[in-house]
Amino acid sequence: MSFTAAKWRGHFPLLAAHRDLHYLDNAATGQLCEAALDAVTSHELLHRANVLRGTYRLAEQADAAYENARRQVAAYLNAASADEVVFTAGTTASINLVAHAFGEGLNAGDEVVLSLAEHHSNFVPWQMLRERRGVLLRILPLTADGRIDLSRLAETLTPRCRLVAVTHASNVTGAVTDLAAIVAVARAVGARVLVDGAQAVQHGPVDVAALGADFYAFSGHKAYGPTGVGVLWGRGEALAALPPFLGGGGMIGRVTVEETTYAPPPRRFEAGTPPIAQAVGLGAALDWLRVQPWADMHAHTARLAQRLIDGIAVLPGLTFLGPRDLKQRLPIVSFNLEGIHPHDACQVLDGHGVAVRGGHHCAQPLMDFFGVQGAVRASLAPYNDEADIDALLAGLKDAMRKLG
């Protein structure tokens, strides 16, 4: 399958409708691919019904579509079984599920290890767990360029460590975490590992079996799928050991006045009516992504990232956040311009048709580490091209003239 950015962009209806848009906010939300849009539209028009226990034809079709989406997600993740795939509302919901369900088995003095590079969604739930259960949070420090400092692993992961929760890749610096090193030390002390994969899944299929983690969380809207749906993958035995998080219909075995028994995973964690159409759309998006020419696409986005890094490096008063090289990093580039608030820079850029994000990016501990309040962030996808980068650079120069 041959790849060009223009050809790939043709699979995204919004970009086809807004040809003058330079969309560089993919770390926040990827655009919806036509495969997902078609799947959602077809499902809602032809197969809309609730899932579980319906005995009429339409409900059985909805059941089949929903479970097929689970198999499609499992294939994208190379999961051992579709039953390891739990549909949630997104990464945040997935992490909160683990924080509550796994956290119920923790006691005061048990330790959870995070890093300074985490999104708030992988920070706040564990702080809330600390308040509920008295667990201790230990923090992996960072190197000067914002990578997790692996030299501190052994001293941070003590025998009291029960879980390590880390990002697969930073949503600010793009730095990819060396998960193999973290998993190895976690296993040595008997701890489980949760990976926040929100920034990784859109860059190609993820092999959870090879990663060695116990839990993996991501959101559909970052992977060119619908909003309102996400996934918690859990190793079979890890999921089976967890109590339910939410109670209600669909997650039970038998309910009596005296007690309730619970369904096995994944149903145990899918109380109430799930995001059926959204799951169908996500499954279609991942099925389409799974067969894309990722080597060519990675080379393309790396060239664009280098063009951007080289272009902003010559701007006066620029503060760069994260690694400047492209080794083990995603095409996410964050920076500040001296004396210019990120929000103001983003507004000027919008006048050039450039969509980027400015602020703390839900990573305030990381911003504190870098000594800044926020940053401008450009995040690239395979549908971006040289014109997008050049428009951003021209807009930044204009912002410096107007605001500097």
Q: What six digits make up the tokens of 282? A: 């996500």
Q: Helix crossing, 57-77 with 276-290: angle to 10°?
A: 40
3 state DSSP class of 21: coil
3 state DSSP class of 376: strand
- Eight-class DSSP state of 329: B
Four-residue CA torsion sign, 101, 105, 107, 109: negative
Bridge partners (DSSP) listed for residue 335: 320, 376
Four-residue CA torsion sign, 288, 25, 139, 148: positive
Whether residue 161 lies in the annotated active site: no
Exactly one of 33, 161, 346, 362 is catalytic; name it: 362
Q: Which residues contact 79 (CB under 8 A, 6 or more apart)?
A: 73, 85, 208, 209, 233
- Eight-class DSSP state of 30: P
- Cα distance between residue 229 and residue 80, in whole Å: 21
Q: Give the catalytic positions in this structure.
A: 362
